[in-house]
């Protein structure tokens, strides 16, 4: 049987690498991994040329400008990568009959909710990064209304730049740490997100639209740090602080828990608990 060719952008990122690591478990899929140096997605002509050469059946866009705070100063670049480039990828897919899977963020929401966000809830990004990702969603659906968009939150992996790896190194160096306790959400283990994406592709069922995916549970960054500290039995003290004591250039939503009901009911994808996923990640790191 002919394999499904899948092109993955942002191949060196947390999600891109996680997809790479899972690739061998999906024999029906044939992958082409494109890192930023192979194919910078904001070089639109190059993107079209590359895709023309590969002719993928599916494009997964795991590339993004993810420097949330720096984006406040680099608005144009953030919008080019997270907005316009997404439109270019989606338009190519639309023209060539390919499927498009794009990844977005909980930061498209304002964080004023008190219950888990569903896909149809109004958006209201508080940061340039969030606004640029929202523009990417808009462009994906404008150029290809058959796109699938997965919004996710607090992504981490055994590699890359993320909260878990930062905490592990700080807990080795410091006697105490202060971590915000009033931003609520749920972490997402990148390999779990990667699996959800690949399971959608091989399901043989394509239901376009926006989906939310994160691990299950409801915690603060402080809770997350404590869980890491307890797991590694670190002597480092973790103290809860309000966001007001940890100012950052970009505003984060105070509450960004994503309801994963839709992906469960449409695709039967049931995210495991954040604790179980964290344990698996830490087992690889310590
Ligand atoms: N990380 C999070 O906490 C988080 C939360 C919610 C949603 N998301 C979304 O989840 C998706 C995956 O994120 P991630 O955590 O895997 O991010 P990541 O680790 O930062 O990976 C993003 C990748 O995109 C690449 N990239 C940046 N600009 C590019 C460009 N112009 N052309 C091509 N590649 C480019 C980066 O390359 P370099 O390494 O060379 O910069 C990096 O390899 C993104 O859509 C992100 O917005 C992430």
pLDDT means over runs of 10, the chain (286 residues): 96 98 98 97 96 98 98 98 98 98 98 97 98 98 98 98 97 96 97 98 97 98 98 96 95 96 98 98 95
pLDDT of residue 167: 98
129 is catalytic: yes
Catalytic, out of 107, 117, 129, 189: 129
140, 86 contact by CB (below 8 A): yes
Task: Kindly give the distance from the C-alpha atom of residue 153 to the centroid of ligand 1, in angstroms, as a whole number.
Answer: 13
Give the Cβ contact number of residue 13 at 10 Å: 24
Give the three-class secondary structure for 273.
strand
Q: Whose CA is nearest to atom 40 of ligand 1?
A: 36
The pTM for the full model equals: 0.97
Q: Which helix (H) or strand (E) holds 103?
A: strand 99-105
Ligand 1 near 140 CB (within 6 A): no
Ligand 1 near 12 CB (within 6 A): yes
Q: How far apart are CA 261 and CA 239, in angstroms?
A: 33
Ligand 1 near 147 CB (within 6 A): no
pLDDT of residue 245: 95
Angle, CA of 46, 159 and 75, to the nearest 5°: 50
**DSSP code of residue 72:** G
Q: How far apart are CA 126 and CA 275, in angstroms?
A: 28
Task: Kindly give the distance from the C-alpha atom of residue 67 to the centroid of ligand 1, in angstroms, as a whole number.
Answer: 9
Domains of the chain, start order: 4-161+187-217+256-272 (3.40.50.720)
pLDDT of residue 1: 81
pLDDT of residue 29: 98
């Amino acid at each position: 049987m002919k394999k499904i060719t899948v092109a993955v952008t942002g191949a060196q990122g947390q999600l891109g690498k996680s997809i790479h690591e899972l690739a061998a478990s999906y024999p029906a899929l044939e992958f082409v991994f494109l890192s930023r140096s192979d194919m910078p997605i904001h070089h639109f002509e190059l993107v079209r040329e590359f895709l023309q050469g590969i002719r993928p059946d599916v494009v997964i866009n795991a590339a993004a400008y993810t420097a949330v705070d720096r984006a406040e100063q680099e608005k144009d670049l953030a919008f080019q990568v997270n907005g316009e480039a997404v439109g270019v990828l989606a338009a190519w897919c639309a023209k060539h009959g390919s499927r498009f899977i794009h990844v977005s963020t909980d930061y498209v929401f304002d964080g004023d909710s008190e219950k888990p966000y569903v896909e149809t809830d109004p958006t209201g990004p508080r940061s340039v990064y969030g606004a640029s990702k929202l523009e990417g969603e808009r462009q994906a659906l404008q150029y290809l209304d058959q796109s699938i968009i997965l919004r996710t939150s607090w992504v981490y992996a055994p590699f890359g730049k993320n909260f878990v790896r930062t905490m592990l190194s700080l807990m080795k160096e410091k006697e105490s740490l202060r971590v915000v306790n009033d931003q609520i959400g749920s972490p997402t283990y990148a390999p779990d997100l990667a699996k959800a994406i690949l399971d959608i592709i091989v399901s043989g069922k394509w239901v376009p639209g926006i989906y939310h995916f994160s691990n299950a549970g409801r915690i603060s960054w402080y809770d997350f740090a404590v869980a890491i500290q307890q797991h590694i039995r670190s002597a480092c003290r973790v103290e809860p602080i309000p966001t007001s004591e940890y100012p950052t250039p970009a505003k984060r939503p105070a509450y960004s828990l994503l309801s994963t009901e839709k992906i469960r009911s449409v695709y039967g994808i049931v995210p495991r608990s954040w604790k179980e996923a964290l344990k698996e990640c830490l087992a690889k790191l310590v």
